A and B are shown apart, each in its own frame.
Chain A
Amino acid sequence: DAGITQSPRYKITETGRQVTLMCHQTWSHSYMFWYRQDLGHGLRLIYYSAAADITDKGEVPDGYVVSRSKTENFPLTLESATRSQTSVYFCASSAAGLNGYTFGSGTRLTVV
């Protein structure tokens, strides 16, 4: 099916562990984004990518790493998870130019 899929849907991890959240889109959209959504902070941009092998920091990049070796995939890695990274993470994609985003269903991450 065409669309944007995130996995896993839910994840519980321990402090200090590395965890990777996956994002896959089938539209060949050039732009992809990672946001986190927290009560009181709304949607905050972590990283974004304009094309394969091109990534840029957003508002809250510390503690996160991204890569984009293929246009359709944009994984987000928490190198050493902290409790403050407990959040709902959304991946999104967009065609180039001023266009709306298509969001995935989100990953709810809990760091204990």
Chain B
Amino acid sequence: GENVEQHPSTLSVQEGDSAVIKCTYSDSASNYFPWYKQELGKGPQLIIDIRSNVGEKKDQRIAVTLNKTAKHFSLHITETQPEDSAVYFCAAMGTSYDKVIFGPGTSLSVIP
């Protein structure tokens, strides 16, 4: 079945540095890749997404890249701030909603 791997599981960066989280997926039919941010005690929040016909998408300090050939996609956060500290989940979506697979999450800590 579909599998989504996510690395690293934990990440600590100094405020102002960049953070990169990488995900790989196994189902070549996946064609939509959202990223979620989950703060402590809250539900996951969609922060950016990318579709299979696009290689890169940016929204202010965050960007996502997609390599369909290699079946991996990455989240890039530049100029990190303490409020970026959270757990980040990637996901891969394909042909049906019961096939949506979330990655295991990355706990990002931004050290002031």
Contact = CB atoms under 8 A, between A and B. Distances in A.
Contacts, number: 47
Contacts of B93: 98
A105 B46 CA distance: 13
B100 A45 contact: yes
Interface string B66-98: 000000000000000000000001000100011
Interface size class of B (residues with CB under 8 A): 20 to 34
Given A57-B98, A103-B36, A103-B44, 14 more contacts: A31-B97, A42-B102, A42-B103, A48-B97, A50-B97, A56-B98, A90-B43, A100-B36, A100-B46, A100-B49, A101-B36, A102-B46, A103-B43, A104-B43
29 contacts: A33-B97, A42-B89, A42-B102, A43-B44, A43-B89, A43-B102, A48-B98, A50-B97, A56-B97, A56-B98, A58-B98, A90-B43, A90-B44, A92-B43, A98-B31, A98-B32, A98-B51, A98-B93, A99-B32, A100-B34, A100-B46, A100-B49, A101-B34, A103-B36, A103-B45, A104-B43, A105-B42, A106-B42, A106-B43
